Amino acid sequence: MPVQGVASTDDVEALRAEMRAADADLAMRLAALAGGGPEPPPPPPPPPAPSGFWLSGGSANTNTQSESDRWGTWRGRPVTLCLCYNTRTAGWGAFLPNSGQPAAYTKQSYRLLLQTSPFPTNIGASYSALISGAYDAQWTQFGNILEQKDAAVGRLPTIVSVAWEMNGTYMPWGYGTGGGKYSSAAQYRQGFQRIVNVLRAAYPGIKIAWVTNGHTNPVAATDLYPGDAYLDYLGTDYYDHYPSAPNAVSFASEGNKVHAGIWWYLQMARD
């Protein structure tokens, strides 16, 4: 799941301490099972989250409220951020967030991170039409629905990740020719900016995330960056198996790659 924002040093150290404790407990349990001895006592409950701890969450990759509940129970700390997706393959009616995954979250404590394409993928939509304003009415409705839903539930404003992982060619809205792809970085930036302007006019409290794909991609992240004024959060989807980084040396090498590594993106967010 993408990590949004920048954590403080104290936050990172607290999380590392929890991870070390969990690793030690798992090692003890495996050793006891292998030796046939008694299982060690359960670990103490985790410490409360430090003040200002970043929003975090997770699930079994099903993006449902019930799985977010289960994840929070398993880790011993309530979930505060839930990733969900709207329906992108059934026209504008299903695209709007009053149905599908976004509509299924009803807990006040769960803030939504909603990842959406710039337009439905099955209607012949294009970046040129988007930039011209052809979809302004739909994006206005999108923002109105989110504002009403957030207010009804009483939760923090939804974070909308617009056209995520756009720096590759594999997404229908990514780089390329034909279909719904953008043909230049400038065209992508204009489309992103158009959506943000319309959403903010419809829902002034909405938050915007700009989320790339980590690792090596054909388009440089800095070329696609829409500008500080058009986002509240910068993130990257970073997959620890593509390529694999099984040790500290390979993780550091991968993490520091320009336009690709998680540490490079962290520095970009700070800058």
How many whole angstroms separate alpha carbon 160 and alpha carbon 199?
A: 9
The pTM score is 0.79
Q: Which residues are within 8 A (CB) of 118 and not within 5 positions of it... i.e. 6 or more apart?
A: 125, 127, 130, 162, 163, 173, 180, 191, 192, 195
Instruction: Quote the pLDDT of residue 2.
Output: 41
In this predicted model, what pLDDT tens digit does every residue of 199-238 receive, in sequence order?
999 999 999 999 998 877 889 999 999 999 999 999 888 8
Average pLDDT score, the chain: 85
Instruction: Outline where 85-175 has alpha helix (H).
Output: 91-95, 100-104, 127-132, 136-153
**Is-contact 252 227, C-beta < 8 A?**
no
